[in-house]
Structure formats: structure tokens, C-alpha cells
Chains A and B, each alone.
Chain A
Amino acid sequence: MSELFAFFFRHSKWFVFALLAVISTAMLLSNDPYRQHVYLTSAGRGASTAYKFAGNVTSYFNLHEINDDLNRSNAQLQAEIVRLQERIDLLSESAIADTLQLDSGVPHFEFIVAHVINNSVSRPYNYITLNKGSNDGIVPELGVIDRNGVVGIVSNVGPHSARVISLLNPNFRLSCKIKRSDYFGSLVWDGQTPDEAVLEELPRHTVFKVGDTIVTSGYSAVFPEGLPVGVVLDDDTDHNQNFFTLRIRLFADFTTLGNVQVVVDNHAAELKALSAGEENDAKKNPFGN
């Protein structure tokens, strides 16, 4: 027995090395972002406190560009308000005429403004940390946008911070469509540069041209339909394939992310319950008879 202990003691560095290597490899291979404990991510208390401290200083950088973007966005929103007001007036008139009840329920989408306290763009799996968490109403699987376009989706939430899977992360696929023709595909980052991604699985008969705008398709409860994502740069398709792959220049500038909005879908629970019901029905009666 003592010889066995002596053997382990003599070669302890190999056992310690193997143990640490196995632990690290297990951490490395379990890369499902939704299953990681919040304290093992940048949304944990220690990391988020350090990032918030640094964010108080760095948030003043790039204010000039952010201000320009906000002015542009403000002008567009003003025009949108006028257009919508005209439409409401018109609908109200017809509602009075037809005694039709206008929908006065809960708004479909609400937005929570948050600030980016940490962001990476050069790793294969990029994440963003926000300074708001569950105490501010953020829960996992909410969409995140900024003034220019789609940014990512919330994965882990702490009380005062949240971690977002960036659009620059191959774990995140976004359903998008070409605004002009309504053909839809799946947008995913290919790891090349932080301002480009690829739109895959577009049908072969898709009509498009360089410069076409890509927007969200609205086929999920995460993002509303029509949010800007990017523009078509060129066709990346191998011509033996049955689907088109387009290279897209993203609208969101991930290198200077500042303020973002978390999209809260007030109908998400209802949609989930409906989908769960459909799945249960399909399991009970797989042939649909």
C-alpha cells in the first residue's frame, strides 16, 4: 500500500496535469451557452462589477458617432410617427363608421434600454454583457437590437447584468428575409470579419441584387418583423448547391456598441403555450388523423 502511495506521490504531477486537463476540456466541450451557470459567465457578479466599473469610463468614447446615428434615427422615427398618426386617424374614422372595436390591448413589443459593458468581436464565439438583468425585467431568449440593427439574443441573466449571444457567434442563427422580395433564409456569422455574415438556405429561385436590404422575417417570438439587419454584398454560392448563400454587410457596428434595446415580446408566453400544445398534439397523434 505504501508503495502505491509512493508511486502516486512520485508521479503526482502527471495526475494533477491529467485532472486539470480533463476539467478544462469538459468546460471547453460543454459549449451550450444556455446551460452555463450565470456565475461562470461575464454576467456573474464579479466579472460584471469589473466591467461596469470600466464601462463608466469607456461609455464616453464614440459619443460623436452615436449622436449622429441617433439624430438620423430620430428623423426617421419622426417621419414614422406622422405616417402612423395619419393611419390611426383614418382607422378611427372607419371604426366609428363601422362600429368596429379598435385593438386597445397590450402592445406587442416593449423595449428595455441597456448599456453594453463588455463586448468581443475577434473570438470564434463572441458574447456581449449588458448592465441590466432580471431585476430590470430581462429574461433569457429576448432579442437585443441597437439603433442600427439586430445585435443578439439574451442567454444568461444575473440580477443586475445579462449575457447576450452576439450575432457574431455561430451558436446564433437569425431568420431573415430580403425586404424587396420576401424570400427568407438563415443568417449566421462565418468568422471572417465583424461587419459581415452570410445568409444561407435561400431558395434557388430567389430574386435579389447587390444592395438589397435584409430584415428580420418575424418567424420567431424574439424579433419583430422588418428590423434592419444588413445589405447584400455579393453572391457566395457554390453553383452546384440547391440553395443560395449571400454575403451580407451588417448594419450594426459591433466594434462600437454602446446603448442597446432589449426587445420584450408580450405575446411570447402565449405563442410558446400554443407551440407546446401543437407539439403535444403531434406526439399523441403523429399521423394527424
Chain B
Amino acid sequence: MKLLVCIKQVPDMESKFKIDTDGVWYDRGDLAWRMNEYDEYAVEQAVQVKEATGADLTVLCIGPDQVKETMKKALAMGCDRGVHIADDQSHRRDPFQIASLIAAFARDKGFDLIFTGMQSQDRGSGQVGVMAAELLGLPAVTTIVGFALAGNTITVKRELEGGVKATVEATLPALVTCQLGLNTPRYPTLPNIMKAKKKELLTVAAADLSPADALLNTVKLTFPEKKGGGVFLEGDVGEVADRLIRILKEKTSVLA
């Protein structure tokens, strides 16, 4: 069995973001980078399937050279090899273009199961996995919080609104997009980090995969307007507590 997991490198969401000079994306300098949180669950699930079945597991990541750092984490978690689709412009590409790159790489490779995160933390479109499946002609199930594989069949739980889950079945080959809480992503151990350095990391130029044309343009990137009227309390915690209690007495009925 052959498995593929697709990951993205994103900035730490606690970062102070600045708008880039082009006005359509954030400034990529001075940021701490990490694996998209949703993708950690995808990698963990793929590694669990590999461990249970002896499957071969490839991790794919699109972006500039720096994404290799994030790929090393996936390799240390247990992926067998990395495929880096080198693309300095990946942050400007829309979800359909990213999906077209994944599909161009995966086509004819015979992957039985493809894992992605359900969305990225920075763009949050939730489109790439499903679109890649469509382009590859595979069935896809989104937002999974439970996963079981028996023979050629996957039985997964989809997370719906209000805590309801749907149990869904599909036959391989298939693609699933992973939601937070699907499993507990492992921390790579030091020996596995060392081993990961020796694993194969293949680079393919994005241009060689003929990405599709963009369907979507970002007109501008802005900071949201603050609601206004919100009061900031700062300083000594005793004083902050007193002022907060005063406000609650004035503005709410909960201390009455």
C-alpha cells in the first residue's frame, strides 16, 4: 500500500503580523514557522496506518527552500521520504493552483490513501484537499475526527456542527482531510530526528508540474477594524481586578 500526506508550513499564529509591501499578503520576514496544526494530525494518522500495515509513506510539501525544515519534522514522525515541490511563489497561489500541483505529482503514482489537513491556519480555505481529490478522480471525505481501515475500506467519523458526528465509509483509493483531535500527534524522538536526516528528500520544481492558472485574486490584505468601545485594563493585577468588578457592577446584572 502507498500513502501520501500533504503538509504546509505556516507562521506561528501568535506572531505579530505585518502587511507585505505588495499589500496582498503578510510580510514573511521575522516569523517563526511551523507545521500547519491540522497537518500534524494528518501525518500522525498516516504514520499509524504505515505502522499497522507496513505501507510506504511519502510526505509532500510545496514552498520555498525553508519548508524543508517542516518536512524534517514529518520525516522524524515516521514518513519514509519527502517530496519538496520547490515554489517561491506558493504563498501567492490560490487553492486550485496548489491542488493542481499536488494532483500533477500524485497522478499515476498509485497512492491508495492521501491525507491532508482540513484547512491551513493562514489561508483557511479548506479547499486544497478536496480539489486535489477531484482532479485525481478520488472520493474524498472532509473533517474527519475518527479513522479506521479494514482491508480496502475506510470507516471515518466526520465532525458536524454541535458535536454531532457522521459515520462515513469509502473504498480505497481515497483522500481524507483531517480535523484537530483526530489523534494525538507524536513528538519526534531524538533518535528519530537523527534518522530523519538520512531519509530521502526529493525536490521537484513547481514549474515542471505545470500549475493551473489562478482562479482567485487577493485584492488587499488588511487588519480587521476593532469593534471600538472596548476598554483596556492594564497594570497592577489588584487594580485591574477592582476596575473589572466595578465595570461588571455597572454594565451587567450578574453581580446583583
Is B a genuine binding partner of A? no
